[in-house]
Structure 1
């Protein structure tokens, strides 16, 4: 299903996007050396409930997972990159943490992810990984607009990631979003320009470039959810929900200080 939102629905999408962004920013500030991943999950739950919103993850049960996800946020550390199931782990100095959050409010969902380094130690490889995904995300957003094709967005993302020297996995990527978290069209993190669905105003997309330092192969944890790099290398993941407008794309999941 590809969903085109009406103006009133877009207004609700902006509210959902702002909520996701603000929760992620708060969690980033609280996630310090000594923080437990299960505490991050509990904090996310409390903020979602307080806002009168609903988690897109608690009852999430796709074909590739093992039963309902059962938590409110994905927490991926170091070599974990996607669908990180929160568990009893205490963050250490230099850990690379990815927080991925999807929330529905008033019937519209928004989805965003941030990667950052915990503590004072900043491993250069981790900094480079995060920077590459953030640049790729910016390039994908710049390529999105009315009349552009999904392939244009994928090509823009892939060009940045390839130029940075990272292999690209095409099993998981960006997606449409709206009244449900995952919709068509699929937005691969690499692709051919001029191909695929033509974007039009009212379409929401969650763009999410992610990379692993030296492999494109994923392995699944025993928990049935967490996806890690096959070589144990570090990973990073950046994501925004955007709305296609009449003259470009608007980011809906900017943190408060970065909003116009």
Structure 2
């Protein structure tokens, strides 16, 4: 059940930041491995090695039966792709999502990239504008009174870029479980969502596609692909709200570089 928000203390957030930095390093290793000629399993293995070396635990592996340490989704696979023997080709759009547990607390983050040489300017704009929409949402979290502001900020970037959010998939609270209340929408909603107040920790994760917002799930019961075969991208960070401001738990600089264009300085947890 994801109906009750779990508010965290600063000390708990600090442990979450430790988990978040493991995820950051895992994604950096996976990004390095995501080159033409590699398999999606090779990309997962790079992330898994970092998590194991850190003494952390994957929160993806075994989650409702998910068989891997990371999701690796390619082109029209938007999220939840299961790593395997698929070979990455030059110009593929690759989205990598993974998480880690440290002392019972979770981190969760995702990146997208183009392997090798981009096939089109549209693919470059897809990846970059999905990243921009994430940071617009994180920046909104710093000033919003309710989570409505996050979805509105993401949608502003999405609409301007001519992209579309994946319907039915949203961000979430995070803490002692990977997925908790509240839901964090990637678009404007009617009605008021949860209040933004100290102790709130959420994962903001826009999933955007070049074509239709509709999707379908493949026979593996996990991989989500766009209904029209258009390409998608996925970016995610876990963020803590405390009485001094916000801190991006899955970024070693607390989100400073991503928030700078929005005029926001993250507030350390120390």
- In structure 1, runs of 5+ residues without a counterpart are 62-67
Is residue 13 of structure 1 aligned with residue 16 of structure 2? yes
The answer (yes or no) to whether the contact 1:147–1:200 under 8 Å persists in 2 is no
Q: Cα offset for 1:214? A: 0.9
Displacement of 1:37: 0.9
Q: Distance in 2 between matches of 1:42 and 1:146?
A: 38
Relative distance call for 1:147 and 1:155 in structure 2 (3 A) is closer
**Corresponding residue of 1:177:** 174
- Given the two structures, how large is their TM-score scaled by the length of structure 2? 0.89
Q: Indicate whether 1:141 and 2:144 are aligned.
A: no
Say whether 1:227 aligns with 2:230.
no
User: Where in structure 2 are the equivalents of 1:54-93 lying within 5 Å?
Assistant: 54-61=57-64, 68-93=65-90
Match of 1:152 in 2: 149
CA shift at 1:248, angstroms?
3.0
Cα distance in 2 for residues equivalent to 1:121 and 1:170? 26
Q: Does 1:161 align with 2:164?
A: no
* Pair 1:22 & 2:25 matched: yes
Superposition CA RMSD, Å: 1.9
Cα distance in 2 between the residues matched to 1:230 and 1:70: 24
**CA distance in structure 2 between the partners assigned to 1:211 and 1:143 by the alignment:** 18
Q: Distance in 1 between matches of 2:115 and 2:75?
A: 11
Using the alignment, how far apart are the partners of 1:51 and 1:188 within structure 2?
32
Pairing 1:39–2:42 present: yes
- Residues 145 and 247 in structure 1, CA contact (< 8 A), matched pair in contact too: no
Q: CA, structure 1 residues 259+191, in 2 after alignment: closer, same or farther (shift >3 Å)?
A: closer
Cα 1:178–1:32 change in 2 (3 A) is same
Q: Say if 1:244 and 1:174 are closer, same or farther in 2 by CA, change over 3 A.
A: same
Deviation at 1:121, TM superposition (A): 3.3
Range with greater deviation from structure 2 (193-202 or 115-124): 193-202
Partner residue, 1:245: 242
Aligned to 1:65: none
Question: Residue 144 of structure 1 aligns to a residue in which SS?
Answer: helix
Match of 1:206 among 189, 199, 203: 203
User: Which residue number corresponds to residue 268 of structure 2?
Assistant: none
| Residues 35/258 of structure 1: CA separation in 2 closer, same or farther (3 Å cut) | farther
- 1:177-212 deviations in Å (ceiling 9; x for gaps): 001000010011112488211111121110001111
1:177 and 1:183 in contact (8 A); partners too: yes
Distance 1:177 1:130 in 2: 25
Q: Is the 8 A contact 1:146 1:247 kept in 2?
A: no
- Cα distance in 2 for residues equivalent to 1:236 and 1:57: 19
Rounded Cα–Cα distance in structure 2 between residues aligned with 1:117 and 1:102: 21
Does the CA contact (< 8 Å) of 1:149 and 1:199 recur in 2?
yes
1:138 counterpart SS class: helix
**Cα distance in structure 2, aligned partners of 1:71 and 1:137:** 25
